[in-house]
Amino acid sequence: MDVDYKSLGKRIKIARIKKGVTQEVVAEKIDITPSHMSNIETAKTKVSLPVLINIANVLSVTIDELLCDNVLNSKIIFEGEAKEIFNDCDEYEVRMLVDVLKYMKEVMRKDRKIRNQFSMQNPDF
């Protein structure tokens, strides 16, 4: 599996914005150039493991949070993100989001069932 550097960069940017710091501040704290930090966030540059660890430490996030789009067992991270989405919702918004989630879950399970049946009927496809 290849690392999705685009998703990783987006998550770094989101964490940085939530922390309320600029690319320049993060870059200075981890001793890289601001342009390198920008390139990491835009996936123009692949981030090294030591730099990724430094970024996570400066932004007070876990590596799991930054890499969850690349790791199969990341359910706990996504559940936390879902809770965050609901935190500032009013009653109406919560009800609407739950309705959408229920519908999407039903659609995904039907789709998965159809794909599984198709692949069993067409093993060479």
Please say if the pLDDT value at position 2 is more than 90.
no
Instruction: Give the pLDDT confidence score for residue 125 in this predicted structure.
Output: 56
pLDDT value at position 72? 78
Residue 116: what pLDDT?
A: 78
Q: pLDDT, tens digit, for every residue of 46-86? A: 999 999 999 999 999 999 899 998 887 878 888 988 999 99
Alpha-carbon gap, residue 46 to 7, rounded angstroms: 12
- Give the whole-angstrom CA distance, residue 57 versus residue 67: 14
Q: Are 59 and 26 in contact (CB under 8 A)?
A: yes
| pTM score over 0.85 | no
Q: For 104-116, what is the mean pLDDT?
A: 88
DSSP secondary-structure letter at 8?
H
What's the CA gap between 59 and 73, in Å, rounded? Answer: 23
Cα 112 to Cα 82: distance, rounded to the nearest angstrom: 22
Please check whether residue 45 is in contact with residue 36, taking contact to mean a CB–CB distance below 8 angstroms: yes
